[in-house]
Amino acid sequence: MKIKLQQNVKFPTSAQLDKSTQVIVALPEPVKDSHWRQLPYGDVLRQRLQQGKGKETKTRLVTDLPNRQGTKVSLGIIKSDADVFELLDESRKLVQPLLQANPTEISIVLAGFKEGPGERLVESLLAALLAATAELPNYKSKPSTKTRLSRINLFGLKTGHGFERTFAAAEGNALVRSLSMRPPNMLTPRKYVSEARKLAKANKWQLKFHSVADLKKRKAGAFLAVVQASPEDDAGILRLRYTPAKKSSKRPVYLVGKGICYDTGGVNLKPQRAMFGMHEDMQGSALALGTLLALSRLKVDYPVEAWLALAMNHIGPKAYKPNDVITAADGTTIEIVHTDAEGRMVLADTLFMASSDKPRLIIDYATLTGSCVQAIGTNYCGVFSNRLAWYPQLIEAGRASGERVWPFPMDGDYDQAIESKIADVRQCAMEGGVDHILAARFLQRFVKHDTPWVHMDLSAMNRKGGLAHIPTDTIGFGVRFSLNLLLDQKVI
């Protein structure tokens, strides 16, 4: 449901506050007397904040106002040097206590902020509210009676815009999370395609599906190796294209995503702990879709196409196996080492096909390697590119969006680890270590015509307790980052 945002330059009157049931109050550090005095109930709030013990309670307070309906206030003192990630993180904590009551309306009151910092804070509070109230899959047999947030009243700030990018990114993120959280029996490649068809219709996207039969004609052996154990021929590459209303001569941006709807590991079967959660191995494809949705909401003036590599990594008598040698669509022969390295296989052919169109830029998203998680944890995602000069902009897109990324090296000598005696290349090395780098080097071979390319290894796809503004374990990381990269960083 669309949430209405109303902006007011003025502070609320006591009467207005008395009418609200849930209020977020934010003040900048150091708080001046005048800031407290501007606020209705300022004295009460100040006194209660100072009564709190310890540092935590001196910068945050949850309390009920002494009025008839006991207006619930979540108050925060915001550090002046907080970066976007910290603002998002703080916003999640401020928003959380108010949502237990399932309010339909929430007020935000800012006192004492300059325009820039005030706007940044509101942006992150909005992001946190939208993230926390997103509709996500729930299969409990007892239906939930939750009401939905439908209105946010902002006091103390009025901007000339409606935070369109924040809303678009939140919608994209909600799509990523809701697809990723679907159990694997509820989101097979076939069901995924039918969901995407609905989205395509609603958003006037063109849709094209490269089925297994079509991929056979194209000799896409890398993709087909992964799906040969699937009992159903429902895998394929799904393309969805947004075209701007006004005719554009700009070449399209392609968003490629790994869409493994379940990763058992294949013949090299994953152990129980590592397998649990592998229905989220399609999060890269959902991120391509979520970013496409956000970009089309923002009506960018160039075409954007999502390429979703949809498949299951099954185990069975027909499954591909270590020591197989397969031929990819571009003719590269690949010596299979480990069937659990399936992501790079389906992406190899997808990247080859996508780059054959010579788009302006390809970004691929993939929950590709455990070693990226080992390297940087689940706080950041790893990024790679065949344009080394973009590394500062990639870091900045992460910093400025609050979805932080860190780049890794892409030097050619890493390829020694994936040399094969029998084929052109090995799928992965026998011993791990820097598999995230080797996987990126492997993928780069299939990006043709020197197409500008960014690869994101989604190590921050799932994190216990959430990350930044996101309160669920499934993070849906990447829409904010991608919007910043495409709209602010001037890489294209």
Active site residues: 270, 344
Strand order across the 206-211 sheet: 206-211, 236-242, 304-313, 253-263, 361-366, 453-457, 381-385, 405-407
CB of 227 to Zn ion, least distance (A): 13
**Binding-site member from 340, 403, 435, 457 for Zn ion (CB under 5 A):** 340
**Interacting stretch for ligand BES, rule CB under 6 A, among 167-175, 212-220, 337-345, 483-491?**
337-345
Q: Answer with the entry of Zn ion, ligand BES, none that 324 interacts with (C-beta below 5 to 8 A by kind).
A: none
Spell out a b/e string for 390-428, using b for 16 or more CB atoms within 10 Å of the CB, else e. bbebbebbbbbbbbbbbbbebeeebeebbeeeebebbbb
User: Which tokens is 187 given?
Assistant: 């989101």
**Binding-site member from 89, 281, 364, 403 for Zn ion (CB under 5 A):** 281
Half-sphere exposure of 45 (CA within 13 A, CB side): 30
Binding status of residue 370 toward ligand BES by CB under 6 A:
yes
**Phi, psi angles (nearest 5°) of residue 67:** -125, 180
Of residues 475, 239, 180, the one with CA closest to residue 362: 239
CB of 274 to Zn ion, least distance (A): 9
- The residue with tokens 């169109």 is 357
CB of 232 to Zn ion, least distance (A): 19
Q: Answer with the entry of Zn ion, ligand BES, none that 338 interacts with (C-beta below 5 to 8 A by kind).
A: ligand BES
CB neighbour list of residue 245: distance below 8 Å, 6 or more residues apart: 299
User: Which tokens is 476 given?
Assistant: 């849906």
CB 336 within 8 A of CB 326: yes
**Interacting stretch for Zn ion, rule CB under 5 A, among 59-67, 281-289, 412-420, 442-450?**
281-289
CB of 467 to ligand BES, least distance (A): 14
Binding status of residue 335 toward ligand BES by CB under 6 A:
no
Question: Rounded distance, CA 79 to CA 93, Å?
Answer: 14
Span 423-442, contacts to ligand BES by CB under 6 A: 428, 435
**Interacting stretch for Zn ion, rule CB under 5 A, among 263-271, 352-360, 385-393, 394-402?**
263-271
Question: Rounded distance, CA 407 to CA 476, Å?
Answer: 19
Q: Answer with the entry of ligand BES, Zn ion, none that 370 interacts with (C-beta below 5 to 8 A by kind).
A: ligand BES
C-beta of 168 vs 429, nearer to ligand BES: 429
CB neighbour list of residue 376: distance below 8 Å, 6 or more residues apart: 382, 406, 459
Per rule CB under 5 A, count of chain residues that contact Zn ion:
6
Q: Please name the residue ranges forming H helices in 313-459.
A: 343-356, 370-376, 391-401, 435-444
Of residues 358, 395, 368, the one with CA closest to residue 484: 395
- The pattern of x and - marking residues 113 through 152 that bind Zn ion according to CB under 5 A reads ----------------------------------------
CB neighbour list of residue 172: distance below 8 Å, 6 or more residues apart: 290, 291, 293, 294, 297, 479
**Binding-site member from 27, 75, 106, 341 for ligand BES (CB under 6 A):** 341
Which run of H or E residues covers position 407?
A: strand 405-407
C-beta of 127 vs 347, nearer to ligand BES: 347
**Interacting stretch for ligand BES, rule CB under 6 A, among 75-83, 132-140, 172-180, 363-371?**
363-371
CB of 204 to ligand BES, least distance (A): 33
CB neighbour list of residue 106: distance below 8 Å, 6 or more residues apart: 20, 22, 23, 24, 98, 129, 149, 151, 152, 153
The single-letter code of the amino acid at 301 is D
CB of 383 to Zn ion, least distance (A): 18
CB of 196 to ligand BES, least distance (A): 21
- The pattern of x and - marking residues 262 through 281 that bind ligand BES according to CB under 6 A reads -x-----------------x
Per rule CB under 6 A, count of chain residues that contact ligand BES:
15
Binding status of residue 263 toward Zn ion by CB under 5 A:
yes
C-beta of 267 vs 300, nearer to Zn ion: 267
Binding status of residue 343 toward Zn ion by CB under 5 A:
yes
Residue whose beta carbon is closest to ligand BES: 370
Question: Rounded distance, CA 375 to CA 293, Å?
Answer: 31
Question: Rounded distance, CA 258 to CA 343, Å?
Answer: 6
**Interacting stretch for ligand BES, rule CB under 6 A, among 44-52, 302-310, 314-322, 339-347?**
339-347
Query: Cis before residue 30, ω within 30 degrees of 0?
Result: yes
**Interacting stretch for ligand BES, rule CB under 6 A, among 170-178, 242-250, 286-294, 369-377?**
369-377
CB of 439 to ligand BES, least distance (A): 7
Q: Is 336 helix (H, G, I), strand (E, B) or coil?
A: coil
Q: Please name the residue ranges forming H helices in 357-402.
A: 370-376, 391-401
CB of 370 to ligand BES, least distance (A): 3
Binding status of residue 324 toward ligand BES by CB under 6 A:
no
Residues at the contact surface with ligand BES, assessed by CB under 6 A: 263, 281, 338, 340-343, 367-371, 373, 428, 435
Residues at the contact surface with Zn ion, assessed by CB under 5 A: 260, 263, 281, 340, 342-343
